[in-house]
Amino acid sequence: MFGIASFVVPSSAIPSHAMLPPGVALAVAAALAFGGYLVAYKRAFADLPATVYVAANEAAALGWYAVIAAVTWPTGEPLVPPGTGLRDGLLVAGVGLAAGAATLVSIRAFKLGEVSYVAPLNKLVPVFVLPLELLVLAERLGPLQVVGVLVATAAIYVANYEGGGALAPFRRAAGYTPARLALGGAVLFAVADVGTRAALSTTALVPQAVALATLVGVTLVSLPFAASRLPESGLRESLPGLVALAAVFAVAIHLAVLAFDAAPASVVSPVVNTQAVVAVVLGGLLLGERGLGRRLLAALLAVAGVALIAAG
């Protein structure tokens, strides 16, 4: 079996000061994959009903991830470890439910609004993850990590800022449907992120098992909402490209769940959610959306935040 580590340059060949902690490095890779995925969705599949797209994407990603899990599964680890109880099952089911609701709400936001506006708001997840993790998991962060979280969150704010005063993005969010959906999705994703970290740190489940369970949960949540829209959705014509894009999504999920297994959610989540900056830069370059200069400033802030988190 070959996991991600099998394709990484040996640590002895890299100066210690040049290495990112494993969880952060994986989170950066996940952010790049997720950012590209969001832009590809907007460019190719935004005409599909959001519920139909989510159900089809999650089902296809589940198939792809089953292959990834089979290839990377730790030797000798069972699918359900002995001693796994009802509480563990409810925790994993709750993660799937939260992730399913978050995905449905967020894809609807991306369908209605521009990537360059919705992505930064939808990826304010770290703002909600930090207090949740401190309360629920009693994690402790170093001062540099706290600053890094704040800087990464500032990058998302800058990517969203369009003038009109410091509070203008929040005022716009209060009255604009895509913004409200994006923020609602961020809250739900925060719950899912903290739940994922809890499942990985308090149960004997391997990361691949948690990811599989989450994908099953999201698929089951989305299918009832998609069923009534399926006949007139035009899904059949889009299916080959959608299945191909779902492979990118499955790889991003794998990278993210390994990152959550290696580091606290309050560290991993802001790094994974710099995918917003990746998405808005690509949106400016590939979709002709405005504000590219501001997006590049946001990208620099995101990189600074990642560096501070890694240094902590």
Select from 10, 40, 3 the least CA-distant residue to 248.
40
pLDDT of residue 20: 61
| Percentage helix, strand, coil for the chain under 3-state DSSP, each rounded to 5 | 80, 0, 20
Give the list of residues 6+ apart from residue 35 with CB closer than 8 angstroms, or none: 274, 275, 276, 277, 278, 279, 281, 282
pLDDT of residue 56: 94
The Cβ of residue 303 has, within 10 Å, a number of other Cβ atoms equal to 16
CB 99 within 8 A of CB 218: yes
Select from 32, 34, 26 the least CA-distant residue to 250.
34
pLDDT of residue 19: 54
Distance from C-alpha of 57 to C-alpha of 51, rounded to nearest angstrom = 10
Distance from C-alpha of 310 to C-alpha of 50, rounded to nearest angstrom = 36
Distances (CA, A) of 20 to 15, 110, 141, 229, 311: 11, 31, 17, 45, 8
pLDDT of residue 10: 34
pLDDT of residue 3: 32
Q: What is the pTM assigned to this prediction?
A: 0.76
Q: Is 21 left (phi over 0), alpha (psi -120 to 50) or beta?
A: beta
Q: Where are the domains of the chain?
A: 21-74+82-311
Give the list of residues 6+ apart from residue 20 with CB closer than 8 angstroms, or none: 28, 306, 310
| Residue 26 three-state SS | helix
Q: How many residues does the chain have?
A: 312
pLDDT tens-digit profile, the chain (312 residues): 223 332 233 333 334 444 566 788 898 899 999 989 988 988 889 889 989 999 999 999 999 999 999 999 988 888 888 888 899 889 999 999 999 999 999 989 988 888 777 877 777 777 777 777 777 766 666 787 778 778 877 776 776 677 767 677 667 667 788 888 988 998 899 899 888 888 888 888 888 998 999 899 899 989 999 988 888 888 989 999 999 999 999 999 999 888 888 887 777 877 887 777 777 778 777 777 666 777 677 767 776 776 676 566
Side chain identity, residue 183: L
